[in-house]
Structure 1
């Protein structure tokens, strides 16, 4: 459930809205603002989700909303399922009267708190606050207040074909040099050694910097032009020089098909894909963190996921907070369902992780343990403008389109004013 473009062919449905009243679907419209309240409801909440790729997710959030309205007949819930570029549509709609009351966000941005766009949610956590991981609480905090509730943690890591590595006599890489060596050796006429994304860049720059002890933002300053970052980006250029990366595949890194169809021997991917990988490969796969850049460094697992926020500028703030509290704090059974019934995801609450049976055994358990040990998330000032400044510079650096230090320095200079705008 990491942020990614909609794959409508795979999902098998189009975006639309569902209005749920007292446990039943009262209306359905492709116009997110086209349905009004119905039945005995005094308030209608418009709740936005991006178009998840995992089958059954849309039906699940519809059931959750139905259950909420059954328990709270005065509040109807309209589910708006947004295909395509969700972030762009959300950004533009938040500036209008059609803005959702509740919405999810893949990368939390403190700038939304500074602008007064989102409501503080400290009061809805109650005694359950201590059950949420400290990492997620810190991530959603701005100016000492909590502005969201994490729905799922999405762990991203390396997948590999066991039989392919065993046949080549290659051990699971523990340093970047070993990863690059393995990718080169595993590249054949029909199979590439590694898939990180169709652009040949993906998360590799982010991974390399953090696995070398660097940071993207530190103490409110753009830090991705540090000596550690320059060293890391200089190193990962080798993947292009060796021609060992799969590029231009039919689906991108978030889908496991490159691995399962043997187009790549190793692939960067998400925990959400594990059920599909198991279905195709059985036990012939393993997972590993992105390796340390060099001996003595620290491997990393990227932690993403989606958070639920309330529009402070909407007309239904208290009803919206009630909905968020009910679904993402009180209903642990639904949180468990959401995390393990539609792909695999790590629940943000420790108690729910303990109850998630599909995460307690095998490779899934190993992935959860790797995430706990090596997990790293984006900074909460990682707005689209900051992200673009970094990704443009990092992509050029990794693909040999200029001096690495100069590119990263220029990118950091461009990102800094955008970081400054978000300080609360």
Structure 2
């Protein structure tokens, strides 16, 4: 899931004791782990955002303990950080209290360009060819690797099989079909589709990708293109038809609108599949965001989290050793992390192929969707850039201006923000 949305997600709003480091709120930390930690020469501080899935904090602490048992000279302190993780992390990175290892959501190339994170090419070795190529591309800056993906999440469309069947609707395989289905499934008390409380959310970017457009290309804001304008303008049809559920009690990342029979179709993440299956049994299916028109391509959004090493820290060598050990060498722990405390795709292809929960049915289909149609957000897609795009999209779908002009203006403003990151 996007780091920008983490504070709003199923993983956000979690409790825990709060400390304050250099003025930034920081979550509680474990004691340095491992039976031999008392004799360690180095103690690493490893930051994690507060995952909402039960057992995740304990799992990370256990992994740290196992690492120290294998490397008695290095102890590991896991700092569990609830709330607005990204803001706390970026504030702390400017201080002497910066962690040695930390995770980030959508990868930010600005961290690499200003020398904040270390190159990690030397960690991959022969395992590099086993990583999903899209995951490698996502952490590459100027041909160098600056992170290791720890899990992949997939954003796609869920639908109720029975609701579509009763209405005589085939699962939509084009944007026109999606619009028609949402309209047909909308009644006096129900709406046909939930994209998010603002009626835009991830849908705007997915629409652009599905029409052959892009968000940022080679450091240039690309969402001012005709393809982007046409696709985002297309979303207005859903608003004009009043087919979208707006202002629900939770947002798109929570499957409640679908599982509580409020809508028959909803944007959602792979992480929601276990809860949806518990609520609906086999009465659901999944779809990529459909191609906008002939010549376009279906798309799913691939997000997740990436482990990085603080290049300005005092323990770079030990930090790299920890990242290599856990996220490249320990395939059993990588499988455990993705399967046992939620539902995610391991970035290493061999690990994903061996994951029992991903081996059949809709789970396997989601892995295939990610492989065939997955798109990551650009590495310059920070909150400043994405907010400009989303604000323009919101105006377009609500009929507040011409799509081409609004997106062109937003792209011009976004370019200055992108340039700052790449300076």
Normalised by the length of structure 2, the TM-score is 0.93
Q: CA deviation at 1:124?
A: 1.1
| CA–CA distance in structure 1, aligned partners of residues 313 and 11 of structure 2 | 34
Quick check: 2:10–2:254 contact (8 Å CA) kept in 1? no
Match of 2:50 in 1: 51
Q: Deviations over 1:278-304 (max 9, x none)?
A: 111110000000011123321111111
Aligned to 1:189: 188
In structure 2, how many angstroms separate the alpha carbons of the residues matched to 1:52 and 1:303? 18
Q: Which among 18, 27, 33 is matched to residue 21 of structure 1?
A: 33
CA deviation profile, 1:137-190 (whole Å, cap 9, x unmatched): 121111221100011111110000000111111111111121111112212233
1:406 to 2:405 alignment: yes
The answer to whether residue 124 in structure 2 is matched with residue 112 in structure 1 is no
Aligned to 2:360: 361
Contact 2:42/2:73 (<8 A) preserved: yes
Residue 23 of structure 1: how far off its partner (Å):
4.3
Mapped contact 1:286–1:363 kept (Cα < 8 A): yes
> Which deviates more, 109-118 or 191-200?
191-200
In structure 1, C-alpha distance between the alignment counterparts of 2:10 and 2:354, rounded to whole Å: 32
- 1:401, distance to aligned residue in structure 2 (A): 2.3
Task: Give the whole-Å Cα distance in 2 for the aligned partners of 1:128 and 1:239.
Answer: 45
2:381 aligned counterpart, secondary structure: coil
State the Cα distance separating 1:411 from its structure 2 match. Answer: 0.7
Classify the secondary structure of the residue corresponding to 2:152. strand
Q: Please say if residues 47 and 77 of structure 1, whose CA atoms lie closer than 8 Å, have aligned partners that are also in contact.
A: yes
CA offsets, 1:347-393, max 9 Å, x none? 11111011111111011011111111111111122223222222222
Question: 2:133: which partner in 1?
Answer: 134
Q: Secondary structure at the match of 2:214?
A: coil
| Alpha-carbon distance in structure 2 between the residues aligned to 1:40 and 1:162 | 59
Distance 1:9 1:106 in 2: 12
> Is 1:339–2:335 an aligned residue pair?
no
Change (3 A) 1:6 1:422: closer
- Using the alignment, how far apart are the partners of 2:333 and 2:171 within structure 1? 36
Mean Cα deviation higher: 413-422 or 341-350: 413-422
Q: Is 1:11–1:54's contact at 8 Å kept on the other side of the alignment?
A: no
Aligned length: 411
CA contact (8 A) 1:6 1:53 kept: no
Partner-residue secondary structure (3-state), 2:32: strand
Whole-angstrom CA distance in 1 between matches of 2:144 and 2:241:
48
How far residue 337 of structure 1 moved from its aligned partner, in angstroms, is 0.8
Secondary structure at the aligned position of 2:267 is classed as strand
Inter-partner Cα distance in structure 2 for 1:100 and 1:404: 43
2:65 alignment partner in structure 1: 66
Shift of 1:270: 0.7
**Gap regions ≥5 residues in structure 1:** 25-37
Q: CA deviation at 1:16?
A: 2.0
**SS across alignment from 1:20:** coil
Partners of 2:128 and 2:49 in 1: how far apart? Answer: 26
Change in Cα spacing, 1:232 to 1:9, as seen in structure 2 (3 Å) is closer
For residue 238 of structure 1, what is the aligned residue in structure 2?
A: 237
Task: Name whichever of 395-404 and 358-367 sits farther off.
Answer: 395-404
Contact 1:149–1:328 at 8 Å: present in 2 too? yes
CA RMSD of aligned residues (A): 1.8
Q: How far did 1:314 drift? A: 1.2
Residue ranges of structure 2 left out of the alignment (5+ in a row): 17-26
* Residues 393/23 of structure 1: CA separation in 2 closer, same or farther (3 Å cut): farther
Supply the distance in 2 between the matched residues of 1:282 and 1:209 (Cα, whole angstroms).
Answer: 33
Displacement, 1:6? 5.2
2:263: which partner in 1?
Answer: 264
Alignment of 1:38-187 (within 5 A): 39-187=38-186
TM-score, scaled relative to structure 1: 0.93
Residues 345 and 249 of structure 1, relative CA distance in 2, 3 Å threshold: same
Q: Deviations over 1:185-216 (max 9, x none)?
A: 21223332111112221111101111001011
Output one character per residue of 1:41-85: Cα deviation in whole Å (capped at 9) or x when no partner.
222211111111222212211111111122122222111111111
Matched, 1:5 2:7: yes
Pair 90,286 (structure 1): closer, same or farther in 2 beyond 3 Å: same
Inter-partner Cα distance in structure 2 for 1:8 and 1:209: 26
Please tell me whether the aligned partners of residues 2 and 154 of structure 1 are also in contact (alpha carbons under 8 angstroms): no
Aligned-partner Cα distance in 2 for 1:314–1:53: 29
Indicate if the aligned counterparts of 1:150 and 1:306 stay in contact, CA closer than 8 A. Answer: yes
Query: Contact (CA 8 Å) 1:6, 1:83: kept in 2 or not?
Result: no
SS state at 1:267 partner: strand
Distance 1:2 1:341 in 2: 21
Q: Secondary structure at the match of 1:159?
A: strand
Give the whole-Å Cα distance in 1 for the aligned partners of 2:199 and 2:227.
21
Corresponding residue number in structure 2 for 1:395:
394
